Amino acid sequence: MQSMISTAIILAGGLGTRLRTVVADIPKCMAPVAGNPFLKYVIEYLLNQGVTHFIFSVGYKKESIIEFVQQEYPHLNYRFAIEEEPLGTGGAVHLAASLCKEKNSFVLNADTIFKVNLSALSSFHYLNDADCTLSLKPMQQFERYGAVELNEEQRVMDFKEKKYYDSGLINGGVYALNVDRFLKMSLPQKFSFEKNYLEAYYRELRLFGYSSDAYFIDIGIPEDYERAQTELA
């Protein structure tokens, strides 16, 4: 029996361009939500789920994130993977993965919370000997997201583009990643984790989808940022 994955890579290097109208000049994950930087809710969720090692991938205005973690969580077991220039989500994961001591790690965005049961996600990932397991959220009547199609074994069969869907599974942005195998692939220095890894290689790799109807919020757009103020209070 494999023990639960204990490391999380948190992608906190985003520019937050869509939030500029509401929150200017700070990294998106540091946007204040009900009196705290949004990142605090992400860290607390991970701690509550049993994560013990944190790797923060930082770039844009990284000083505020570093200072916050150092002051607020002095006893946290953490490291920073610092992007000297934007590497895309894939390049950021790759840089952080090189600091990972485990063979597998969770990967998630610092501007989204998807309260997946990480122990169950871990077990599912190991059971399928997956290269990467995507946490998927069932949604109704949506057009902001693309949809992910699975077969009866829950293996990823296709990524569908953004358009209106009556119902479907969206990528919730929480992954269990086999870091060892990921680092052995010949990937460019700058790339998109979604487009150039998941969507480009899903036919060759063992990619699986773990469906969960857990709480989900993405503060990347102003109306959801407003919603977070009350829901996370």
Q: CA-based Rg of the chain, rounded to a whole angstrom?
A: 17
Residue carrying structure tokens 């946290």: 76
Whichever domain contains 65, its CATH number is: 3.90.550.10
- Alpha helix positions (H), the chain: 38-48, 62-72, 88-97, 118-127, 179-184, 199-201, 222-231
**0.85 exceeded by pTM:** yes
Residue 56: closest CA among 29, 20, 86, 74? 29
Residues 6+ apart with CB under 8 A from 226: 22
- Given a contact cutoff of 8 angstroms between Cβ atoms, the answer to whether 99 and 176 are in contact is no
pLDDT of residue 12: 94
62 domain-assigned? yes
What's the pLDDT score for residue 118?
A: 98
What would the pLDDT profile of 176-231 be if each residue is shown by its tens digit?
Answer: 999 999 999 999 999 999 999 999 999 999 999 999 999 999 998 788 899 999 99
> Is the residue at 61 inside a domain?
yes
Evaluate whether residue 2 is within a structural domain: no
| pLDDT reported for residue 2 | 77
Beta strand pairing call for 165-178 and 104-109: antiparallel
**Tokens representing 224?**
């959801």
Residue 157 is assigned to a structural domain of this protein: yes
Residue 185 structural domain: 7-231
* Whole-number pLDDT of residue 28: 86
Domain count, the chain: 1
In 3D space, the residue among 114, 138, 150 whose CA is nearest the CA of residue 41 turns out to be: 114
Low-confidence stretches of the chain (pLDDT < 50) are none
